[in-house]
A and B are shown apart, each in its own frame.
Chain A
Amino acid sequence: MEGQLAHIGAGLAAIGSGAAAIGVGNVAGNYLAGALRNPSAAASQTATLFIGIAFAEALGIFSFLVALLLMFAV
């Protein structure tokens, strides 16, 4: 029974991946909106874009990690 509950928990942790997807989409979408308004400034901001994406994505990776721990370590 406990093992099955851990599987349910892993599935719930996977919701976090969707939340991270929203975050990454937000960053990339806003970057694109800004880049289309001022294309000349876009190239200088790609580094910032990737840093923002990385920060948003890290939290999704944490939820993936929680899912992995529930599946294999608990």
Chain B
Amino acid sequence: MASEAHGAEEGGLVFHPMDQFIIKPLFGGDEIGLFTVTNATLWMALAVLGIIVMMVIGTRSRAIVPSRSQSVAELAYGFIYKMVEDVAGKDAVKFFPYIMTLFMFIVFANFLGLIPMSFTTTSHFAVTVVLALLVFLTVTIVGFVKNGMGFLGLFWVSSAPLALRPILAIIELISYFVRPVSHSIRLAGNVMAGHAVIKVFAGFAAIAVVSPVSVVAITAMYGLEVLVSFIQAYVFTILTCVYLKDALHPSH
């Protein structure tokens, strides 16, 4: 993203806080084609692998008294299932596999990104925009398939005065199409901002006078980032559920 700002000031920032987000090919070369193995694809694959390992090992024994790994798998399953049921309604349960996949991928990508020297895939808009666009397309198609033209009732606020409805319809339409934008930028922006802040504090650690403060600040920010990683995944999935509820029950 930025490599021109490598200021080698005295004891100051010797690396750029945005350098951690540069995508590099893993096996030499400089060009990044469609199928080049980069650090981004590596960490995405690791996230998928982590999910598979967690869920397959967790559900292997299927004991009545769950082991530790089984408890984790059951906890994740139950957590998402309850969220889908509570927020999107009983008839949205058939979308549960999709929402579970989304949540697990984002959580794993976020948490793997917190490992020092790793790469955070969800900090890239390319990744989150694809996720958000898929949700947007799913919701729109499901809305039209389920309700036909009745889906357009989402934009026609029947509880408002008649004179106000066309104006509200335009506002609702705009807010509908801004959804994928805010949906994706929220996740990527939060993750990217947190990681950049940690790197900025890490830059201050080189100055002897402020380095103790800097180390404490990094630790505190890291703790906050662990929280943010989970909350942002939760928010992404819960908003997916809200949009899904709109598609299934479009009446305003």
A residues sitting closer than 8 Å to B (CB atoms) are 47, 50-51, 53-54, 57-58, 61-62, 64-65, 71-72
Contacts and interface: CB of A to CB of B under 8 A. Distances in A.
A44 to B, nearest CB: 8
A67 B105 CA distance: 28
B193 A51 contact: no
A58 B238 CA distance: 15
Contacts of B235: 50-51, 53-54
Contacts of B18: 72
A50 B2 contact: no
Contact of B1 (A51, A54, A72): A72
B185 A54 contact: no
- For A51, A61, A62, A65, which residue has the most chain B Cβ atoms within 10 angstroms? A61
B189 interface: yes
Given A47-B87, A72-B1, A72-B2, A54 B193 contact: no
Given A47-B87, A50-B234, A50-B235, A62 B185 contact: yes
Instruction: Give the dominant DSSP class at B's interface.
Output: helix
12 contacts: A47-B83, A47-B87, A47-B238, A54-B235, A54-B239, A58-B182, A58-B185, A61-B186, A61-B189, A62-B189, A65-B185, A72-B2
Given A58-B182, A61-B185, A72-B18, A51 B238 contact: yes
B92 interface: no
Nearest to A63: B189
A58 B193 contact: no
A55 to B, nearest CB: 8
A48 to B, nearest CB: 9
Contacts of B242: 51
Nearest to A59: B182
B74 interface: no
A57 B190 contact: yes
A64 B234 contact: no
A64 B185 CA distance: 10
B132 to A, nearest CB: 12
Interface string B187-212: 00110010000000000000000000
Interface in B38-92: 83, 86-87
- For A51, A57, A58, which residue has the most chain B Cβ atoms within 10 angstroms? A58
Given A57-B186, A61-B190, A62-B189, 12 more contacts: A50-B235, A51-B238, A51-B242, A54-B239, A57-B190, A58-B182, A58-B185, A61-B189, A64-B193, A65-B189, A71-B2, A72-B18
Contacts of B171: none
